[in-house]
Structures are given as C-alpha cells and as structure tokens.
Structure 1
C-alpha cells in the first residue's frame, strides 16, 4: 500500500461534501483520489485532479485506490461494501452499517478473511457535547448512573428534498438515520442492554417513514432512554444523566456540521470549539461538598476518526469504530422495530 492512503468516495451528496471529503483533503496521510458522480462534477470543481467515475463498480476497480468510503443510501451499504471488499479495498461504511444484522456479520467475515480494514463512520462519538458527557459519566462524579436520556429532535413538518430519505425503502426513517447516532453513543458508554422497549411512529402529515421514536434500553439498574421527534419546537436538553449522588445536564452543541456547511475546513482555527454558554451543568457531591458548576465543553473533531483509520491501516492500531460496533447498532434497531410492532419488551442478549 502507498504511504498516503488513496481514497475513493462513493457519493458526493451532503455526506461526501461535508463529512468525508474535507477531512480526507486536509489530512496529509490521505489523498482524495476518486469519486462517483453520475451527472454533476462538483467534486472536481472543488478538488481539482480528483478522478470522477460513473459508478461504484467502476471506481472500485481503480488499482490505485486503497480505501473506499461507502456513503450511499442505506439500503445499498451491504452491496457496495461487499463489492469494495471483494476488490481488495479497505472500507469505511457510513452509519447505519447495514439494514440487517445478518448482512453486517457477512461483511465482518469477508473483511477478516481478506485481512482488510472495515470500519463504520459513527462520527458523533467525536462531537464535543458527547465527549464531555462520556467523560463526566465515566469519571464517577455522579455515582452509579441510574438514568441516561438522549434527545435528537428537530422541528420540520415538510419532507426532505432527498427522495431516498423519504421513500418507504429498507433502512429509511428516523431510527436508522438519527437513531444510529444515539444508539452508538449509548452502547459506547454502557455496552449492550439485556432487553429493550420501543415506540416508533410516523407523525408528519405526508410522511412515509418513521419520524418519531422512543427507546428504553434495560440494564441491571440503569435505564437508557433514546428519543427523537421531527416535531419538537422547543427542545429539551440533549443529554441528561442522573446518578446516585449527582446529575449532569447538557445541550446538543457540537458546531462541526455548521462549520462544514459554511465551507470551513477541519484545519481552521478553533475547529469544533464549544461556546461557554453551551457548557453542561454538573450538580453533585464531591469530597462531602455540594458542587453545582458548569463543565467546559472542549472541542469536537471528526478528524480523530480519520487519524484512527490511518493508524489502523498503516500501523495496525485498533480500529476507531469496529464493524461489530456498527453491527450492534443495527441489532438494536431491528429489536426496536420488533418491540414497536409487538408492543412488548424484547430481549437483546
């Protein structure tokens, strides 16, 4: 493999333009080498020299490419990731990893048999808000955590112009889209639950896909609630963690997506830095004294994911997001639909 990881991106919609190309472009360990664009040539305009292919099948045959980013509609993830792996390429798959856990396991086995890196782009692990929440929870200052609640709400009655997101296709809807983030964040801190309950609904007038969900993950003493609605005008705090001796309340405040949409690159000054008015509130007892203070939020950086990918490919370091991590998220989603359809609590492990 070349010293610089030559990378092809399977689509140049929002995901390619915002969440992948900028990080590949400014990272000296990567080269944005190729992209699939069937009609427009937006990538070549912004990144002169990038090779443009008409199809994923054509691009993965490029012998110069080391890594393929599969960031196409969810229902295509399995097929395109399999095609790239069979062509001998390392693969990053956008979340959700696949539509079904069985597909995820097949890809895991295929990558292992070929000695290739397979990773899932759960970038929200690298949000400033989540990073500080995880740090506080794992520090023990709340005592045993008994309740953990995460919201990812929007206020948008109208349907998306992206037809693949609003069509009744496998892997569409809020749970696969936004829920993947919340589930991965919960599992990264607490691991897999024993069982779960879910309520998944369609609440917008003309929607064909779920746009509301509530999940309750059951652990021994802990309950984790994950919730999203497209019709929340006044949002609650994004994160609430309550333990035996304290609570931590935090807004959703990571600014990376907004910075990227404004055209900033990830090497810009103060990248991902959280504003002080977004800091989370800690109320607990430390060394016998009551503490009620705001905790600095720090900075988020999705580049940490790509740095981890480079180290994993080049130096055998741990995969920053393993494919089994991605498969576990899909397993939770499938169990959630089973629970919502049956009205019952269902086992997970």
Structure 2
C-alpha cells in the first residue's frame, strides 16, 4: 500500500484532538512534518519526533519538501485563506480546516487556483462522518419517511460566560453553521433561497451566538439552528415526512470521547448507548403505525483522510466537491450582506 507523507500547519488543540488520533490508526499516512509559529516541549511533540516527524516554524520548510504529498491547514480561521493560497502556489495538495474562508470570492480564488495547477483542495468537513448524521442519512435513503416536509438540525450549548468580541467570521454562524450547512448541502445540494436569523444574545456587541436559518428547497424546508444559551438542549434532529417522523435526541459521541482522552481504536470509542438511538415512527403501506428504534451508525472523522487518500492515489471524486465548497461559503457569507 502506498503511504502518503503528510504535513500539518498548526499544532494546537484541533490538530491533536480531531486529526492526529485518527491518522495514527491508519497505516497509509506518515506524519512527516509539522509547522507551528512557536515550538514548545509538549509531550505530543516529543512522541511524534521520536517517530520521525520534523518540527519547525517556517511554512517554506513544507513547501520546499518535495516528499510531502498532502498538507493539512489547522491554523486559526483568519489564517486559512492566506495559508492555503501560499501552499497551493507552492504546488501542494491541501486540506483546510473549516470554516474554509470568509467570502465566496476567496473560495472561488482558491478553488480556481487548485484546478489550474491540478491540485487537490478540500475543506475538512469531518461532520459528514458524525454518527447522528450518518444515521439520519441512512433513514432518509430507506424511504421510511416518505416525501420530506420539514427537517431541523440543532447544535446547542450552554456557555453563558463565553461572549467575545470579533468579526463575523468568529461567530457561531461560521463556527457551528458551517457544519450544519455542509451536511444539508451534501444531502440536498444548494438551497433555492435562505431565510436568516443570526444574532448575539449574550452581549449585544459581541459576535453572534444564535442562529435559526431556513434553507428552502423545492418541496421542503431544512432549518439549521444553534444557541449558546440552551440550559436544556433541543433534539439534535427532528424530521417530518409524508409517512413518518424521525427524532434523534443526542449528538455524536466522538468529540466527548476525545475530550475525555478516549481515542479512535479504543473499545467503544464514539459509540451510542441504546437509549441514545434514534426513534422512528412511520405508517407502512397497509396503514399500520410502526415505531422503531434505529441503532446508531458508527461515526469516524478519519474517513475524511480515507477519502483524500482515495482521491490522490486512486483518482476518486473528492468527498466535498468544488460546487459544494462554494455553495456552503456563499450561504454563510450571505447572512451578513
């Protein structure tokens, strides 16, 4: 099996929590280089160095290393555009953390640059491999619900003291909305119209921390919503169809496990308990009302890496198409126009 040499720009919490643990259990990647603005003596660095990873503070070390097959950008969001552009101009294939960029113009420029140079370029949309999303996707594909009428997906937290100043790019709509909008675009494509309610509820002058946005498709509405002031979280998914209803109360467990130090490969990682399973109620062709519990499909954020490998090595289509990249960024940016 061909191994890909990969490099990271950024070595903070996201790199060490949402990326490297998934790469470590995959045999077809080698973490060759990591660039960060400052280098310390963290245990994570020592472990990687012992296995041959080279650390430095200059991104040109990655660009000039012809052995690097793929670079993953995990910098603060404000640096995504410039960092990705520099790497693409340097001839590197790039995965960039999300939100990818702030504006449609920036997204179009990077997509065009990658296309001109025949390079792989894609955002790290790991929430396409949330267990709850994969479960919902499976139910939609079975046809239990009939014709879709109304879908609501929620990302709630209770963080009353975390209001902060910043730009639009720093708020909840870009930060949380990017996951939910991408999930909808991956399922249904670009919405026909969008209705926005995006605001700050903890502090009038702080960045937005609440949104309820309706993505209008031809025959149904998909609502994506979140608040940072939910003492009791709303169900993660509520979906109504012409023949049934699906409710999934709880979120994917990968993030909670990672925060607790449980990592991919550990027994039970990311697994739902039976009380967390989705509940489906539908009417069959005989008019019988059926209630079913839907076991959760296993999630795995590392599948973003698997898809990138298959694109680079086997020529398969990208997980996130250029059209989807642009549709997501346009939907996010238009909230503030």
TM-score (norm 1): 0.90
Does residue 209 (structure 1) correspond to residue 210 (structure 2)? The answer is no
Q: How does 1:273-284 map to 2 (within 5 A)?
A: 273-284=271-282
Q: Give the distance between the partners of 1:295 and 1:114, measured in 2 at CA.
A: 45
Measured against aligned partners, the alpha-carbon deviations of 1:147-186 in whole angstroms (never above 9, x if no partner) come to 00011010001228xxxxx441352100111000110111
Match of residue 131, structure 1, among 128, 134, 142: 134
CA distance in 1: counterparts of 2:2 and 2:162, whole angstroms: 44
d(CA) in 2 for partners of 1:262, 1:34: 27
* Alpha-carbon distance between aligned partners in 2 of 1:77 and 1:170, rounded to the nearest angstrom: 15
Contact 1:111–1:117 (8 Å) recurs in 2: yes
| Local SS of the residue matching 1:231 | coil
Asked whether the 8 Å contact 2:155–2:225 carries over to 1, the reply is yes
Mapped to 2, the partners of 1:209 and 1:252 lie a distance apart of 26
- Do structure 1's residue 117 and structure 2's residue 120 form an aligned pair? yes
Query: 1:171 is paired with a residue of what secondary structure?
Result: helix
Map 1:148-187 to 2 at 5 A. Answer: 148-159=151-162, 166-169=164-167, 171-187=169-185
SS of residue paired to 2:196: strand
After TM superposition, where is structure 1 displaced by more than 4 Å over at least 4 residues in a row? none
Query: Whole-Å Cα distance in 2 between the matches of residues 170 and 193 of structure 1?
Result: 22
Cα distance per residue 1:266-323 (max 9 Å; x no partner): 2223332221111111011123221112111121111222111111111101212234
Partner of 2:17: 18
Does residue 328 (structure 1) correspond to residue 332 (structure 2)? The answer is: no
Q: How does 1:1-349 map to 2 (within 5 A)?
A: 3-37=2-36, 38-42=38-42, 43-47=44-48, 48=50, 49-159=52-162, 166-169=164-167, 171-205=169-203, 208-288=206-286, 289-338=288-337
Unpaired runs of at least 5, structure 2: none
Kindly tell me: are residues 207 and 306 of structure 1, through their superposed partners in 2, closer, same or farther at Cα, counting changes over 3 Å?
Answer: farther
Return 145-154 or 321-330, whichever deviates more: 321-330
Q: CA deviation at 1:138?
A: 2.6
Which sections of structure 1, spanning at least 5 residues, go unmatched?
161-165, 339-349
What CA deviation, in whole Å up to 9, does each residue of 1:213-264 have, x standing for no partner? 1101111220111111000111110101101111000023311112222333
Partners of 1:149 and 1:226 within 8 A in 2: yes
CA 158–229 in structure 1, closer or farther in 2 if over 3 Å, else same: same
Rounded to whole Å, the distance in 1 between the matches of 2:58 and 2:24 is 22
Counterpart Cα distance in 2 of 1:35 and 1:167: 30
Tell me, what secondary structure is at the counterpart of 2:169? coil
Change (3 A) 1:170 1:87: farther
Answer whether contact 2:189 2:324 (CA < 8 A) is retained. Answer: no
- Give aligned pairs, total: 332
Which range moves more in the overlay, 48-57 or 282-291? 48-57
* Contact 1:22-1:266 within 8 A present in 2 as well: yes
